[in-house]
Amino acid sequence: MKANITETNKKRIVIIGGGFGGLQIARSLSDSNYQVVLIDKNNYHQFQPLFYQVATAGLEPSTISFPFRKIFQNKKNVHIRVAEVYKVDAVNNQVDTSIGIVNYHYLVIAIGADTNFFGNKKITELSYPMKSVSEALTLRNRILENYEKALTETDREKRKTLMNIVVVGGGPTGVEVSGTLAEMKKSILPKDYPELDFKMMQVYLLEGSPKVLNVMSENASKKAQEYLTALGVNVFLNSRVKDYDGENVFLEGGKAIPTNTLVWAAGVTGNRLEGLDPAVIGRAGRIMVDRQNKVKGSSNIFAIGDIALMTEEKFPDGHPQVAQVAIQQAKLLAKNFKSMDEKKELKGFSYKDLGSMATVGRNKAVADFPKWKFAGFFAWLIWMFIHLMSIVGGKNRLFAFINWAWSYITFDQSLRLIMKPKTRKEISPERMSS
Query: Which DSSP string do the residues of 250-268 spell out, in sequence order?
Result: EETTS-EEE-SEEEE-S-E
Q: What is the phi-psi region of residue 62: left when phi exceeds 0, alpha when psi lies from -120 to 50, beta otherwise?
A: alpha
Give the residue numbers spanning the domain of 176: 121-266
Orientation angle between helical segments 172-183 and 218-231, nearest 10 degrees: 20
Checking if the pLDDT of 343 tops 90, the result is yes
* Chosen domain end from 266, 293, 325: 266
Buried b (16+ CB within 10 A) or exposed e, 387-413: beeebbbeebbebbeebbeebeeeeeb
In a domain? residue 385: no
Checking if the pLDDT of 272 tops 50, the result is yes
pLDDT band at 247 (very low <50, low <70, confident <90, very high): very high
pLDDT, tens digit, 9 for 90 and up, residues 212-225: 999 999 999 999 99
CB 216 within 8 A of CB 358: yes
How many residues does this entry show for the chain? 434
Q: Are 63 and 185 in a shared domain?
A: no
Checking if the pLDDT of 140 tops 60, the result is yes
Q: What is the pLDDT of residue 423?
A: 59
In a domain? residue 384: no
What's the rounded Cα separation, in Å, for the pair 52 and 167? 12
Orientation angle between helical segments 20-28 and 323-341, nearest 10 degrees: 30
* Chosen domain end from 247, 266, 285: 266
In a domain? residue 107: yes
What's the rounded Cα separation, in Å, for the pair 61 and 55? 9
Buried b (16+ CB within 10 A) or exposed e, 92-124: ebbbbbebeebbbebbbbbbbbbbbbeeeeebe
Q: Are 147 and 253 in a shared domain?
A: yes
Which of 80, 72, 71, 102 has its CA nearest to residue 3? 102
In a domain? residue 140: yes
Q: What is the pLDDT of residue 6?
A: 86
In a domain? residue 412: no
CB 188 within 8 A of CB 411: yes
Checking if the pLDDT of 431 tops 50, the result is no
What's the rounded Cα separation, in Å, for the pair 195 and 142? 19
pLDDT band at 412 (very low <50, low <70, confident <90, very high): confident
One-letter amino acid of 144: L
Buried b (16+ CB within 10 A) or exposed e, 132-150: bbebbbbbbbbbbebbeeb
User: What is the four-CA torsion angle of 12, 88, 23, 279, rounded to 10 degrees?
Assistant: -120
State mean pLDDT over 255-263. Answer: 97
Q: What is the pLDDT of residue 109?
A: 98
CB 108 within 8 A of CB 303: yes
What's the rounded Cα separation, in Å, for the pair 280 and 275? 11
What's the rounded Cα separation, in Å, for the pair 365 and 248? 31
CA 303 to chain CA centroid, Å, is 18
Torsions phi, psi for 168 (to 5 deg): -110, 125
Q: Are 216 and 307 in a shared domain?
A: no
State mean pLDDT over 252-259. Answer: 94
How many Cα neighbours within 13 Å face the side chain of 406?
Answer: 13
Checking if the pLDDT of 105 tops 70, the result is yes
Checking if the pLDDT of 196 tops 60, the result is yes
Checking if the pLDDT of 432 tops 50, the result is no
State mean pLDDT over 299-306. Answer: 97
Q: What is the pLDDT of residue 434?
A: 42
CB 126 within 8 A of CB 142: no
What predicted TM-score, i.e. pTM, was given to this entire model? 0.93
Q: Are 52 and 188 in a shared domain?
A: no
Q: What is the pLDDT of residue 314?
A: 92
What's the rounded Cα separation, in Å, for the pair 167 and 174? 6
In a domain? residue 409: no
In a domain? residue 390: no
* Chosen domain end from 236, 266, 296: 266
What's the rounded Cα separation, in Å, for the pair 374 and 226? 14
pLDDT, tens digit, 9 for 90 and up, residues 44-58: 999 999 999 999 999
pLDDT, tens digit, 9 for 90 and up, residues 361-395: 999 999 999 999 999 999 999 999 999 999 999 99
How many separate helices (H) and strands (E) can be counted in the chain?
A: 13, 24
What's the rounded Cα separation, in Å, for the pair 92 and 286? 23
In a domain? residue 144: yes
Which of 179, 240, 89 has its CA nearest to residue 362? 179
Checking if the pLDDT of 422 tops 70, the result is no
Checking if the pLDDT of 430 tops 70, the result is no
Q: What is the pLDDT of residue 433?
A: 44
Which of 314, 356, 382 has its CA nearest to residue 219? 356
Residues with a catalytic annotation lie at 176
pLDDT, tens digit, 9 for 90 and up, residues 10-47: 999 999 999 999 999 999 999 999 999 999 999 999 99
Q: What's the number of domains the chain is made of? A: 2
CATH code where residue 288 lies = 3.50.50.60
**Could you tell me what percent of the chain has a pLDDT over 90?**
91
